[in-house]
Structure 1
Amino acid sequence: MPRRVVLIRAINVGGAKLPMADLRAMAEELGATNVSTYIASGNLLCDPPAATDEFDRALEAAITERFGYEREVISRSRDDLAAALDAHPFTVVDPKFSYVYCLTGVPSTAKAAEFEKRDFGDDELTVIGNDLHIRFAAGAGKSKLSAPVIAKGLGVQGTGRNLKTVRTLIDLADRD
């Protein structure tokens, strides 16, 4: 199984603590190899032992069992992330304000179109496949475009990473 970038939604924010050492250990217990993490926000790189979706669901279950909260696990290949980065449709004024928000699935065309028409001030967004691309005008923390709003509007959960982090994850995946 090729190297994967595994993203866990909403880790180490809002009381959902998950030490990266524990995340690495859980991945190894599930049979993953070549395991590493990047910063303490739920970014795991590994070679999963099984089909991607199977590993992702097993890691979700392990997190719930060990820590008592549920979090979605979304993985992408290095090439998936590179394609998302290349497809980012907005002018990047500051990479920390531009995001790829990886979704758990492809939202319906109707939901995506309706969501894209909503007014989020100066924030720009568009859905491309199973990714939501965002350019925050003043940063993610100041936007009304929050994770619950995205999940409700698109009908699928997701987790966002700014373009600087996406580039770093691609570089890390290239090293191994």
Structure 2
Amino acid sequence: MTTYAALLRAVNVGGTGKLPMTELRAMCTSAGFSNVRTYIASGNVVFESKLAEASVKARLERCLESYAGKPVGILVRTGEELKAVLAGNPFRSEAPNLTVAIFLDAPPPADFLDSVSDRQTEQIALGTREIYVYYKDGIARSKLKIPAAKTGTARNMNTVAKLVELTAA
């Protein structure tokens, strides 16, 4: 059995994609996942499955599309991968609430920095299938645009740490 975390895109954020976490837990259980639990109401769910990552993702995407009537972006990581994301954070000495990992399905393109625009005081670094960003002046004030992150989803390091804890439990 592998413990996974599924990170949903644009759920319960800014008035879009309303999804009660009770519904998300029920979907995951009906999809055959076990030991299902959610963390905060922004689309973080942890569960166990015998399926491979791609199958987990496809199964959950189908459930969510059926519920929402449209595709819902999902990024999936194992507990070990989340642990590596947390350990690989190049901005560990900075405030964890101002540092995010933008989770992607594939490694970021090597030249992704060429397409970044409106960068001010933000610091950016590559991960395995993540882009790390430290927002020195706060996320709300940032005008940073990262086209490679368009299909990804961001979680701050406090959330990543909690998901590591939940996947280890």
Change (3 A) 1:30 1:163: same
SS in 1 for 2:2: coil
Match of 1:138?
137
Q: Under a length normalisation based on structure 2, what TM-score does the superposition of the two structures give?
A: 0.90
Tell whether the 8 Å contact from 2:108 to 2:130 is kept in structure 1 after alignment: no
Q: CA RMSD in A?
A: 1.8
1:83-98 matches, cutoff 5 A: 83-98=84-99
Change (3 A) 1:3 1:131: same
| Separation (CA, whole Å) in 1 of partners of 2:28 and 2:58 | 12
Match of 1:81?
82
Amino acid corresponding to residue 94 of structure 1 in structure 2: A
1:119 Cα deviation (Å)? 4.5
| Separation (CA, whole Å) in 1 of partners of 2:135 and 2:93 | 10
1:39 Cα deviation (Å)? 0.5
1:15 Cα deviation (Å)? 1.9
Q: Under a length normalisation based on structure 1, what TM-score does the superposition of the two structures give?
A: 0.87
Aligned length: 168
| Separation (CA, whole Å) in 2 of partners of 1:51 and 1:120 | 37
Percent identical: 31
Return the structure number with greater helix share. 1
| Separation (CA, whole Å) in 1 of partners of 2:148 and 2:68 | 28
SS in 1 for 2:54: helix
Match of 1:169?
163
Match of 1:62?
63
Match of 2:124?
125
1:141 Cα deviation (Å)? 2.1
1:72 Cα deviation (Å)? 1.2
Tell whether the 8 Å contact from 1:57 to 1:73 is kept in structure 2 after alignment: no
Structure 1 consecutive aligned stretches of length 4 or more whose deviation exceeds 6 Å: none
Task: Deviation per CA, 1:63-105: give whole Å up to 9, x if none.
Answer: 1111123221111111111111111112533210011111121
